[in-house]
A and B are shown apart, each in its own frame.
Chain A
Amino acid sequence: MNNEFILEMNHISKTFPGVKALEDVQLKVRKGTVHALMGENGAGKSTLMKILIGIQPADAGGELIYKGKPVTIQSTNDALGMGISMIHQELSPIPHMTIAENIFLGRESTKGKTFWVDDEEMNRKAVELFKQLDIELDPRKKMKELSIANTQMVEIAKAISYNSELIIMDEPTSAITEKEVNHLFTIIRGLREKGVSIIYISHKMDEIFRISDDITVFRDGQYVTTKRADELDNNKLISLMVGRELKAMFPKEEVPIGEVLMEVKNFTRKGYFEDVSFQVRRGEILGFAGLMGAGRTEVMEALFGVTQKDAGEVYVEGKKIEIKTPKDAIANKLALLTEDRKLTGCFLPLSIRDNIAVASIDKYRSGLLINPKKINDECGAASKKLNVKTPSLDQLIKNLSGGNQQKVLIARWLQTDPDILIIDEPTRGIDVGAKSEIHKLMSALAKQGKAVIMVSSELPEILGMSDRVIVMHNGKIKGELDRSEATQERVMEYAIG
């Protein structure tokens, strides 16, 4: 029984100024198992993993037992030395270094006992590693040349290359396709057979049930329970995570579909997408499905004037319009919520108020100056309407959870009074509770007679929310399915090409 657990973390707490991120939590990982760590965003999973890997210290009083012995881990080096490695949630390549240099960063091979780093030896070791893992990449390539999916595969290979006995995987599949997920799972099963233990964090339920042996649930920085995976199912797990039953995962309301609001004809941007034509009607939620890199985001960006199309026409209410810049798009009552909140959505160092006001700033002017009362009242009302959880409009957006940030961004675009809302990955990286709120909101917007175009890589979301699904593959539309005919299998069939 002593040796059953490779890792025991007991009574771990972590206090940030003003916030208790973890309160007396525990995590016990059995040797040679895949242990899923579940919880909504902000539940404290990543914080606990940062403590385990030595990025952040825990409050005093906790206990860490690794391979039967109490240990302290004060830096990532300590953890790596003990045989604990981690695939980090945020991809962290060093763009101008080669794949091999990235993988062996911090433990470079040298020629004999000299200081001279042996690049060839590192390349050779990387080739060997890739062969083991069945990955086809040239280790001499620079990281910046890789696709996001391949970057993630390199991160995975890197974590494995430490020959660790415990590997933490924080959202390892956030950027890879189904095929690569299967590949990863094959690798994980192989590791498990060798006695390696894995802590697996993911928001994707189906993955959890496919791969994990045990599941530990956190909620609001507290430990809830640990169960064998076969004791749970989707609904039970969700209710443990949110502490309530989520009755309607997808609160899609039936709305009468109205007139054609926008029509896109033969839209083309060379090298990105080709001959894309579709219509969207009032009251409709139109889903765009496809694998990563299918060109969906690129179509939306060109439609919104972020990039320039090479050919094609856009009609709004039967009238041909010309969109060259996002300003034109906004004037034609389009709105675009981009897929990467941090990169192209939020102004992180600015307040909620300024983040809401930025796309509709003219509304709050009196003469040349911004009228503080106007901007406060309007943005306050918008924030309240979308149920943004914050004590004050002065709160900086970077301090909000992903779900609340997304609500602020929706508020921003609703202030421009759009007819056509394009939402790219509406709920990526958002916890279950907030997800449902966003879905309700989309449904409500459709009900008001707006047209909603949703790009999503999550099949359940596509199937649950869309009135109609367009599937893209390799820059082209491969198929169109009505809500009634759209099934997981049919969408995937088109998506694969």
Chain B
Amino acid sequence: MKADNVAQKNSRDFKEILGQFMNKYAIFLVLVLMVIILSIISPTFLRSRNLLNVVRQISMIAIIAMGVTFIIITGGIDLSSGSVVALSGVVAASVVTGGKYPVIVGILVGMAVGSLAGGIAGWIITRQNIPAFISTLGMMISARGAALLYTDGKPVTGFTPGFEYIAGGYILGVPTPIYILAIVTVVSHILLKHTKFGKYVYAIGGNYNAAIVSGINAKNIVLKVYMFAGLLTGLTGVILASRLSAGQPTAAVGYELDAIAAATIGGVSHSGGIGTIPGTIVGALIMGVLNNGLDLMNVSAYWQQIIKGIIIVSAVVMDKKRNR
């Protein structure tokens, strides 16, 4: 009888653990499955050059998506990423063009512009009590306008090789943006998982009032979250300018939606309080692998869009089912 109970308990424990594992890693398994299928269908897929290419292609969206992950966990949203990428890109470009200032100044200026834009949106959200959707919608439109105004609608060109190296260089055969992506991932993950700031981000999204009555200055935390996301967006602006060899005021249209999609596929909940950085990275990778795979299989770009939309919604449907 007793042994029976133990056996029953063990099998229950096993089921529970398996359930928890599936819960935690389902999206990761989806990625693995996609990789396996694609490597069977297309022999080129698994070549290291192709794989590095996939990661390089998603690096910018993934960097933005990590900031967006923080924002969505607090219960917010950011529609301004694409425009802010363009704005910080052109400002950074104008600083380094013709070797006026050293590359590092350009990088810092780009990040500062992004952070400022995030700070303004965050200030409007927290101090004027305006919904994030509205505040960042305004920033999306205005930042695009500011980028066009600043450049008079023309691209800013004339970079030194040093600046071109940010997106175009290789270290040990690996493209530099991948290193930037890796650093941002590690920093963001630690910030979200292992600092008080990160705990407060989850707390605010999980239950705003509970956070307040626990003595957390929620408004300040939310403001900082938008500034942090802006910082990463600004960094992306620099990378994109370097990649395009020009500060393009019209670039990066729609990046915000790709970033939101990556975070969403990665399990970040739009009702707040749920999400992880590894999840978001996997979400971005799924989008990248999907693009790449469909390209290799010669699927038309139109179909790719349809499939991408379906994948995003399916990921959330799956999430809902698992969390029930």
Question: Does more than half of chain A's interface fall in helix, strand or loop, or is it mixed?
Answer: loop
Q: Which of B195, B200, B206 has the most CB of A within 10 A?
A: B206
Q: Give the residues from 152 to 197 in chain B that come closer than 8 angstroms, CB to CB, to chain A.
A: 194-196
B215 pairs with A97, CB closer than 8 A = no
A106 pairs with B215, CB closer than 8 A = yes
CB distance from A77 to the nearest CB of B (A): 4
CB distance from A173 to the nearest CB of B (A): 19
Q: Tell me whether A94 and B207 are in contact in the complex, defined as CB-CB below 8 angstroms, given that A108-B199, A116-B194, A117-B194 are known contacts.
A: yes
Q: How far is the CA of A8 from the CA of B213 in the complex (A)?
A: 22
B199 pairs with A96, CB closer than 8 A = no
Complex A-B: 11 CB contacts under 8 Å: A94-B206, A94-B207, A94-B210, A96-B273, A97-B199, A97-B203, A105-B200, A106-B216, A107-B215, A115-B195, A116-B194
Q: Tell me whether A105 and B211 are in contact in the complex, defined as CB-CB below 8 angstroms, given that A94-B203, A96-B202, A97-B206 are known contacts.
A: yes
Is A75 an interface position by the 8 A CB rule?
A: yes
Is A386 an interface position by the 8 A CB rule?
A: no
Query: 17 additional contacts, CB 8 Å, given A76-B213, A105-B210, A106-B214?
Result: A75-B215, A76-B214, A76-B215, A94-B203, A94-B206, A94-B207, A96-B206, A97-B206, A97-B273, A101-B199, A105-B203, A105-B211, A105-B216, A108-B199, A115-B196, A117-B194, A117-B198
Is B10 an interface position by the 8 A CB rule?
A: no
Contacts of B217 in A (CB 8 A): 77
Q: How far is the CA of A96 from the CA of B217 in the complex (A)?
A: 20
Is B212 an interface position by the 8 A CB rule?
A: yes
Is A92 an interface position by the 8 A CB rule?
A: yes
A95 pairs with B212, CB closer than 8 A = no
Is B314 an interface position by the 8 A CB rule?
A: no
Q: Tell me whether A95 and B273 are in contact in the complex, defined as CB-CB below 8 angstroms, given that A108-B199, A116-B194, A117-B195 are known contacts.
A: yes
Query: When the two chains form the complex, which single residue of A75, A77, A92, A117 contacts B207, counting CB atoms closer than 8 Å?
Result: A92
Contacts of A106 in B (CB 8 A): 200, 211, 214-216
A92 pairs with B210, CB closer than 8 A = yes
* Chain B interface, number of residues (Cβ within 8 angstroms): 21
CB distance from A478 to the nearest CB of B (A): 27
A95 pairs with B196, CB closer than 8 A = no
A92 pairs with B199, CB closer than 8 A = no
Contacts of B194 in A (CB 8 A): 115-117
Closest to A119 in B: B194
B273 pairs with A80, CB closer than 8 A = no
Q: How far is the CA of A107 from the CA of B199 in the complex (A)?
A: 11
CB distance from B192 to the nearest CB of A (A): 11
Is A93 an interface position by the 8 A CB rule?
A: yes
Query: When the two chains form the complex, which single residue of B199, B206, B213, B273 contacts A88, counting CB atoms closer than 8 Å?
Result: B213
Is A86 an interface position by the 8 A CB rule?
A: yes
Q: How far is the CA of A262 from the CA of B203 in the complex (A)?
A: 48
A86 pairs with B213, CB closer than 8 A = yes
Contacts of B207 in A (CB 8 A): 92-95
Is A110 an interface position by the 8 A CB rule?
A: yes
Contacts of B195 in A (CB 8 A): 115-117
Closest to B210 in A: A92
Q: How far is the CA of A107 from the CA of B274 in the complex (A)?
A: 21
Beta-carbon contacts of B97-110 to A below 8 Å, as 1s and 0s?
00000000000000
